[in-house]
């Protein structure tokens, strides 16, 4: 295989045998996974499964006790600076400064990263994330979904090829969650590689190209949704009258009440 071909198929993220313990408590027990470029990879697990710990290791905020990992071909231990230049991390709590407007938040981060034309960068991101009309308002007035979309927009300044989203819809109402889901899909459609941690089953089902289930520090299954479903016995076909869920009712009702800038 030529060098160009090898580069084209190289995983955006490769993890091999990552281990981490805290005061004798084994949080990660040899994690292995690969994430293909431009895909959404969901790391699914309950609280305490080790999802956030793995993300902190991959984003160079924490050192692994054992194992190795590469992001965009850069070794985590040997080239942490290059890894940091290739990634962005959006945690469970938004990093938005609520005392600033949406546009001011974006301009601030652009200047901190010493990038040219911060106003133009801010305006382009506001438009991309459907926040143009709200760009001049203080972020404190934003809904949860708008604040989270702004947070993700801030993390994309500098166009990192890989983004880690650690439970990005935690605490959001159903409408805001749908808005964030649309944003995440647009990232992958634009070629960004997304590693998403979640404990919400329908979030992984709706978004992910591949899903890994992390349980007690180990990946116990890894595959597409279709592959994971084939692990269970074939469903018995029954014909029943299906009633809409409360979430469907809620989204239908609020969907007629206005646009996204609420």
CATH number at residue 112: 3.40.50.300
Domain membership flag for residue 102: yes
Q: Which residue has the higher pLDDT, 7 or 89?
A: 89
Say what the pLDDT of residue 241 is.
75
Which residues, including other chains, have CB under 8 Å from residue 70's CB and lie 6 or more apart? 11, 13, 14, 76
Domain membership flag for residue 80: yes
Domain membership flag for residue 14: yes
Mean pLDDT of the chain: 87
Say what the pLDDT of residue 42 is.
95
Instruction: Name the domain count of the chain.
Output: 1
Q: Is the pLDDT of residue 95 over 50?
A: yes
Domain membership flag for residue 262: no
Residue 123: band (very low, low, confident or very high) from pLDDT cuts 50, 70, 90: very high
Predicted model pTM: 0.82
Say what the pLDDT of residue 2 is.
44
Which residues, including other chains, have CB under 8 Å from residue 152's CB and lie 6 or more apart? 90, 129, 163, 165, 168, 180, 183, 184, 187
Structure token pair of residue 176:
């805001």
Q: Is the pLDDT of residue 139 over 90?
A: yes
Domain membership flag for residue 85: yes
Say what the pLDDT of residue 75 is.
96
Structure token pair of residue 22:
């805290």
Residue 8: band (very low, low, confident or very high) from pLDDT cuts 50, 70, 90: low
Q: Print the domain residue range for 25.
A: 9-255
Domain membership flag for residue 84: yes
Domain membership flag for residue 3: no
Domain membership flag for residue 165: yes
């Amino acid at each position: 295989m030529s060098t160009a071909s090898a580069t084209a198929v190289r995983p955006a993220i490769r993890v091999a045998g990552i281990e981490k313990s805290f005061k004798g408590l084994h949080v990660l027990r040899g994690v292995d996974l690969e994430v293909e470029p431009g895909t959404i990879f969901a790391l699914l697990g309950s609280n305490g499964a080790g999802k956030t710990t793995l993300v902190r290791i991959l984003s160079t905020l924490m050192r692994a006790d054992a194992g190795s990992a590469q992001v965009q071909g850069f070794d985590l231990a040997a080239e942490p600076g290059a890894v940091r230049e290739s990634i962005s991390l959006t945690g469970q709590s938004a990093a938005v400064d609520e005392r600033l407007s949406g546009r001011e938040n974006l301009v601030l981060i652009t200047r901190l990263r010493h990038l040219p034309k911060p106003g133009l960068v801010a305006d382009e991101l506001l438009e991309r994330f459907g926040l143009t009309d709200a760009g001049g308002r203080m972020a404190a007035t934003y809904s949860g979904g708008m604040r989270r979309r702004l947070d993700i927009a801030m993390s994309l300044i500098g166009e990192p090829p890989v983004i880690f989203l650690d439970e990005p819809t935690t605490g959001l109402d159903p409408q805001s969650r749908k808005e964030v889901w649309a944003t995440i899909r647009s990232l992958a459609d634009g070629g960004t590689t997304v590693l998403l941690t979640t404990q919400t089953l329908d979030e992984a089902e709706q978004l992910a190209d591949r899903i890994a289930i992390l349980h007690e520090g180990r990946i116990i299954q890894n595959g597409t949704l279709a592959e994971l479903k084939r692990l269970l016995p074939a469903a018995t076909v029954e014909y029943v009258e299906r009633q809409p869920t409360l979430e469907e009712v809620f989204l239908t009702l609020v969907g007629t009440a206005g646009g996204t800038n609420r």
